[in-house]
Structure 1
């Protein structure tokens, strides 16, 4: 049973509004009651009108909806991100069990994709080779998608680390061409910037510098009118790494050190420590 009605009822009550007040001019109070109990569906237009009645944006509603179910992709990505940043293989294996059960029950491609992400991340943390068959499965899915939406953008950003350089280069071109129609949506979130920075990091680690400057400009353009502190600071760190790799070492050092300092200053100590370790290694490797 969908939890949409349950979440709506919770939000309506939190506003101190009755079913009669909210339903007026949209649908009957009885039909609203059936919707809130999960017995009836309503049109998208009516649903948006109901949200407007209780002064809740649809993006806000999604956040509350995700909090009540562990089957959403955002819930998975949040847990997955926490586990791999902590290098917690035990937690990653637990997530494999959950996603495998969901895949067997519902047979949806995203659960299969999630299983691949988890297994490839464990391979990386265990210094084992990536499964190329699994990498090709996600690559072919993305190549064959006629249009990319939020899911495809996130999938690419999270799977680039185990794909080959030619695959990532091709998917980068496809991504930039296919998501143009969603520019306004992406500019209102940090999704596009995050994906592009993952790709910048991928190319930097591979010492494949040719596409980096152009990608940095793309992300700069996305973030120019936004207030995403973490994203802007991470981009400055990547700019510093790029400068070091092209020989502008002092300029690059200043960018990296300032980005790390700001991360620590604003309380992101875990991230600051990770970047500091990466930075120290980069400097050692760049010594003649």
Structure 2
């Protein structure tokens, strides 16, 4: 039977805490180490404080311990991303039904977060207006602001829902995402997700009629401080597109159009025709704004 300490260890590592950081002010490192190895029990007051530091309720902890596990979280995100990339509404509907069933059975906020995420992707694919109740946004804000160290779940959740949020909130939370996930940057999937967040943030900053040029420079600096592998053609091409839009927004129309059209051409060469069409439509909208 899996020990509770093992689950605490896995959550701790997924959140990016060292034993010293988690134990500080609660119990000794040696005692926490024994608990995580299953060599010692722990008092209710101690585990309560550990879970508070890990931003987990008892219900969420026990569900992770008994059922979900981190492999299934990976599976969920992979399937949602697969459905989005392939514009597969049937798969999204299936994933939504599963998340809704789990929400109704267990009542865990994690599954409500997941439902919001799926609804965002569904609306984007259908080209419908994304409109959620304020309590749903408040739920996301509260959760993301309370998390001290952002792990894979927090990064993926935020990246999938940031376009619901007002610019000031995106600026604050994207900064949090970059700063509070630094312990994970050697992990490939985390590194890639952070880059995606920064590119989406740059896109967001350029989305309105009046661009957030100063914030754009800050987040571009964050992005350029990271190592983007040469073979990540989609990421590099998306960045080319964003930089082209920026040039148009600040008045360098000819240069910017040339950069975005190059990105469109590369998307077509890569066989990403949907992305090419989306980028072309976005370019048209931006040029119309500048008339």
TM-score, with normalisation over the residues of structure 2? 0.66
SS of the residue aligned with 1:227? coil
Contact kept? 1:117, 1:159, Cα under 8 Å: yes
Contact kept? 2:184, 2:191, Cα under 8 Å: no
Please list every run of 5 or more consecutive structure 2 residues that lacks an aligned counterpart in the other structure: 3-36, 38-68
Please list every run of 5 or more consecutive structure 1 residues that lacks an aligned counterpart in the other structure: 3-42, 44-68
Q: Which residue of 2 aligns with 1:74?
A: 74
Which region of structure 1 is more displaced relative to structure 2, 221-230 or 145-154? 221-230
SS of the residue aligned with 1:211? helix
Decide whether aligned partners of structure 1 residues 129 and 191 sit closer, same or farther in structure 2, where only a CA change above 3 A counts: closer
Once residues 103 and 263 of structure 2 are traced to their aligned partners in structure 1, the CA distance between those partners, rounded to angstroms, is 40
Q: CA deviation at 1:123?
A: 5.7
Contact kept? 1:216, 1:235, Cα under 8 Å: no
Once residues 188 and 249 of structure 2 are traced to their aligned partners in structure 1, the CA distance between those partners, rounded to angstroms, is 30
Find out whether 1:157 has 2:159 as its counterpart. yes
Find out whether 1:228 has 2:232 as its counterpart. yes
Decide whether aligned partners of structure 1 residues 227 and 89 sit closer, same or farther in structure 2, where only a CA change above 3 A counts: closer
Which region of structure 1 is more displaced relative to structure 2, 167-176 or 71-80? 71-80
Decide whether aligned partners of structure 1 residues 98 and 230 sit closer, same or farther in structure 2, where only a CA change above 3 A counts: same
Contact kept? 1:123, 1:130, Cα under 8 Å: no
Q: Which residue of 2 aligns with 1:245?
A: 249
Q: CA deviation at 1:189?
A: 4.0
Find out whether 1:281 has 2:281 as its counterpart. no
Find out whether 1:181 has 2:188 as its counterpart. no
Match of 1:209 among 207, 213, 221: 213
SS of the residue aligned with 1:235? helix
Once residues 185 and 86 of structure 1 are traced to their aligned partners in structure 2, the CA distance between those partners, rounded to angstroms, is 26
Structure label with greater radius of gyration: 1
Once residues 201 and 276 of structure 2 are traced to their aligned partners in structure 1, the CA distance between those partners, rounded to angstroms, is 20
Q: CA deviation at 1:217?
A: 2.7
TM-score, with normalisation over the residues of structure 1? 0.67
Q: CA deviation at 1:122?
A: 4.9
